[in-house]
Copies of this chain bind each other. A is one copy, B any other.
Amino acid sequence: MPYFDNNATTPLWKVAEKAYLDASRNHWQNTSSPYRSAARARTLFDRDREWLAALLGCPADSVIFNSGATEGNNAIFNYLAAKHSGDARVVVSTIEHPSVLEPARAAFPGRVDYLPSLSSGVADLSELSKFLENPNVALVSLMAANNETGVLQPWRECLKVCRRKGVPFHTDASQWLGKMPLDGLGDCDYVTTCAHKFGGPKAVGFILIGREEVGFKSQLGGAHEKGHRAGTENLPGVRSMVAALKHVYENLEETLSDQRARRDAFEKTLCREIPGTRIIGGQSERLWNTVHVAMPKYANTRWVALLDKRGFTVSTGSACATGKEGPSHVLAAMGIESEEAGRILRVSGHWDSSSAAWNGLGAAMAEALEELNRSKSSAEGPMVISI
């Protein structure tokens, strides 16, 4: 599969499609309705909730289904802002997804403290204890793995510090869930997730609320999800998401070793064949599928177009930032200048990416470089940055 933008979104697994269709054809009833066919749908729904809770190591009541991580991230900050006084603050890292950063700033205006990023792409926890001396911290939020660089974040360490201080901890696990072992995730106070990042359907996800958060509300309205999240339950979506998760976790060990080896071989060849190439976050622990790479020259948009022509789909960065101006806030936080940022490609493999696909991509990049070198207009055209 020559598609290498799986951090943006993924194709639906066949097993997930089958689960969607089965539920949509046979159990489409409103799970809140008072008759037997609806009760059967409700049973499947509850079974999925229990399976997820077991996978994550948390009580079933902690799992609230929703429309994905953006909804989840918004809901947490809005909920905490309403719960706490106007003095309350939140601590977030500078490399969070916009769906964390923007709700944090909107719900806690002027009351956000930032964990900076090291140049390695890892969030720097050295000031965390200082921030937590303030008794009004309502939440610390640190993503599990970064969507652009793939760099794994010290969320477990952050959780420990928060626990000692009695401050709730949230992790946006959108890029982690489905790709990495789950130990400890169910211990976080809040976890947000997104099915379409691991071969589940779009517009489905869940949030974990790890403590007794009786008053937590994502959307107000009908009394679904024990009052935590109004809106008719999307059983086909949930069943499909669970089928996708089952599939990826059944094969995780194999994926981890095979894909990491293929990705590492790709990086090694790339750096050898195209001198001056720099792997962003290359010294850090990263997701097995992600290569964030600064090419030695030429705007990333030109690379993307030439690789696309050759059937290889890579990206200039986060799809969620397309349309926003200026370089990525993640790269800026890592101290990367906008000139280099404009040369960066994000390559994100699939669970099933073959060695041939990874090798093919490497060869296509070498060809693209030749074409760019040959191209008259390639020399010093205006830099187009669209990360």
Contacts and interface: CB of A to CB of B under 8 A. Distances in A.
A102 to B, nearest CB: 4
Contacts of A386: 34
A359 B311 CA distance: 58
Interface string A85-100: 0000000000001111
Interface in A315-352: 315-316, 318-324
Interface residues of A, number: 70
A320 B70 contact: no
Given A70-B221, A221-B73, A203 B34 contact: no
A223 B323 contact: yes
Interface SS, A side: loop
B24 A17 contact: yes
A343 to B, nearest CB: 15
A293 interface: no
A223 B73 contact: no
Contact of A315 (B17, B33, B232, B321): B33
Nearest to A308: B35
Nearest to A202: B234
Interface stretch (A6-14, A123-131, A267-275): A6-14
Contacts of A11: 28
A68 B30 CA distance: 15
A219 interface: yes
B24 A220 contact: no
A48 interface: no
A313 interface: yes
A32 B320 contact: yes
A219 B74 contact: yes
Contacts of A74: 219-221, 230
A29 to B, nearest CB: 7
Interface in A178-235: 194, 196, 201-204, 219-224, 230-235
Given A203-B237, A221-B73, A230-B98, A9 B35 contact: no
Nearest to A41: B9
Contacts of A28: 9-12, 202
Interface string A236-267: 11000000000000000000000000000000
A29 B322 CA distance: 14
Interface of A: 5, 8-12, 17, 20-21, 24-25, 28-30, 32-38, 67-68, 70-71, 73-74, 97-100, 102-103, 106, 194, 196, 201-204, 219-224, 230-237, 301, 304-305, 308, 313-316, 318-324, 386
7 contacts: A12-B24, A35-B315, A67-B67, A70-B219, A71-B219, A74-B219, A230-B320
